[in-house]
Amino acid sequence: MIRAIFFSIFDVHEGPKVLHQVPADSIAPSNKSSQTPLLHFPSVSSYIIPRPEYCSKLITFCTPAHRVLCQPVCLHSSTYPRNAYTFSIALVLDASTPFASYATVTLKLASLLQTLEEQSRFLSRDTSAPNTGKIYALCEILLEDLNNYCESMIPIDDSNTLNIKLFPTYPPPPPLFSHHVPLSTVRLESLTDPNWDLTMLRVLPHINGINSVKQISLLADADYKLVRKAIEHLLYYGCLLLLDIFSFSASYASTAELASFVEDTDMQEECAAYVAVPPVLSNSKASQSDPISGFQLVELYLKLRQGQTVKSFYVDNVEIVDRIDIRRFITFGVIKGFLYRVHRYAIATSQTSRRKREHKVKSKQKADEPTAAESQIDATKSERHQLQMEKFLDGTHCFDEICTELMIGERELMRRLKAFGDVQIICR
């Protein structure tokens, strides 16, 4: 939030001076005012009206409670006293306020005022008393519009209009990996137009909450790095959520947030509508089934635990789970935050590394011997698999990531882990 806007100049007799300030007495209070200023102007005047070599640059500094943004401008001409006219319009924010978007506003204001001064001496010919006139009105409207509406359009004269908009600053998106599954939170098709990035247009049809980032790049026939960049942009603007790859061999468990789902009947109704299976037409008649109740949904979520796969959960509760979409059932819990995925990680022991080196030596020896061509090919293939697996066995790569990077299934991954040697698998 903007606390104050003020306009200052270099007076040839008084030096740096505040001409206009909104609110009144917020920067340079009058002698009759009892208001405490937001900052002590004489102490910071050298930053507001600096030496000419520091003009035309964005300057930002902090006091204990506030941050000041300004871009001083120095114009040289023989028509000015001392052949120069120096001015600055500054914004005062709370010290904790993110200021990236306000910096753009400051730069645009300084550029506009410089243009107006060069065209018609809009600033130097203004003889209005302090806190009156067009410049004061400009500061007053800016403060009110930007704080209330985050945008402002102010007609300056017949040929100049000030248009400013504060664009929100979002936090950086979460790290994106090849095994993440993006799920749209808005109707992306309604936001697109033909002028969008070509990679983005090819990616959007494949974002369905099922395909991983790697799969999307393959389906869209686009470079993985470009696809990842496009998805990161959508994440930054809050158009996507990230899920894990759904698999019946995966394991999920509830968190403490499940208590809020137990007490919230509206969320239970939302869940029931989201996971409901649409009726299947058979012999021109829709098969009817009783809708699942909130109590049954709570009971199902409570049965999810570590060490239990989705497949075994489905088999144990088939009579109820058969009436819902199991993938949507899991996804809803993950989105709302009362379910989490229990990932599996592989860690190779030192003994495994030794066995691996011995295996490489033996493979090389076999390759040197006059054996059949198939044996040499098998040995080379096995060695290549060993080398591919090595970098993933440090306990920081989950099974989803390994399978996605190597483009193999979980059964093939387990086979390679057994062939690798003594590998410990942990769940967390």
Which pLDDT tens digit goes with each residue over 42-66?
A: 999 999 999 999 999 999 999 989 9
Pick from 165, 143, 142: nearest CA to 154: 142
CA separation for the pair 72, 61 (Å, rounded): 13
Q: E strand or H helix at 378, and its extent?
A: helix 373-390
Instruction: Give the rounded percent of residues in the chain with a pLDDT score beyond 90.
Output: 68
Q: Average pLDDT, whole number, for the chain? A: 88
Average pLDDT over residues 346-360: 62
CB-based burial, 347-365: b 16+ in 10 Å, e otherwise: ebeeebeebbeebeeebee
CA separation for the pair 142, 162 (Å, rounded): 10
Higher pLDDT, 350 or 339: 339
CA separation for the pair 139, 132 (Å, rounded): 10
Average pLDDT over residues 2-30: 92
Average pLDDT over residues 239-244: 95
Which pLDDT score, from 0 to 100, does residue 285 have? 43
pLDDT band at 377 (very low <50, low <70, confident <90, very high): low
pLDDT band at 421 (very low <50, low <70, confident <90, very high): confident
Which pLDDT score, from 0 to 100, does residue 401 have? 95
Give φ, ψ of 55 to 5 degrees. -75, 165
Average pLDDT over residues 81-108: 92
Which range is least confidently modeled, 120-129, 376-385, 410-419?
Answer: 376-385
Tell me, what DSSP letter sits at residue 309? Answer: B
Beta carbons of 413 and 399 less than 8 angstroms apart: yes
Pick from 35, 32, 31, 27: nearest CA to 8: 27
Q: Looking at this protein, which amino acid is placed at residue 245?
A: I
CB-based burial, 301-328: b 16+ in 10 Å, e otherwise: beebeeeeebeebeeeeeebbeebebeb
Pair of tokens at residue 5 = 């806007």
Which pLDDT score, from 0 to 100, does residue 191 have? 87
Over 60: is that where the pLDDT of 372 sits? no
Which pLDDT score, from 0 to 100, does residue 140 have? 94
Beta carbons of 258 and 338 less than 8 angstroms apart: yes
Average pLDDT over residues 104-119: 93
pLDDT band at 34 (very low <50, low <70, confident <90, very high): confident
Cα separation values, 156 from 123, 125, 136, Å: 12, 15, 12
Beta carbons of 358 and 367 less than 8 angstroms apart: no
Contacts (Cβ under 8 Å, ≥6 apart) of 182: 207, 209, 213, 216, 231, 234, 235, 240, 241, 242, 243
The two beta strands, 66-70 and 84-94, are antiparallel
Q: DSSP labels for 265-285?
A: HHHHHHHHHHHBPPPPEETTE
Beta carbons of 398 and 375 less than 8 angstroms apart: no
CA separation for the pair 166, 149 (Å, rounded): 9
Over 90: is that where the pLDDT of 357 sits? no
pLDDT band at 94 (very low <50, low <70, confident <90, very high): very high
Which pLDDT score, from 0 to 100, does residue 172 have? 87
Over 60: is that where the pLDDT of 108 sits? yes
Which range is least confidently modeled, 162-176, 214-228, 249-263, 369-383?
Answer: 369-383
Which pLDDT score, from 0 to 100, does residue 86 have? 95
Which pLDDT score, from 0 to 100, does residue 204 have? 95
pLDDT band at 192 (very low <50, low <70, confident <90, very high): confident
Q: Looking at this protein, which amino acid is placed at residue 158?
A: D
Over 50: is that where the pLDDT of 413 sits? yes
Q: DSSP labels for 130-146?
A: TT-HHHHHHHHHHHHHH
Contacts (Cβ under 8 Å, ≥6 apart) of 21: 4, 5, 6, 7, 27, 28, 131, 139
Pair of tokens at residue 309 = 């796969």
Over 80: is that where the pLDDT of 222 sits? yes
Which pLDDT score, from 0 to 100, does residue 410 have? 92
Which pLDDT score, from 0 to 100, does residue 369 have? 52
Average pLDDT over residues 325-343: 95
Over 90: is that where the pLDDT of 289 sits? no
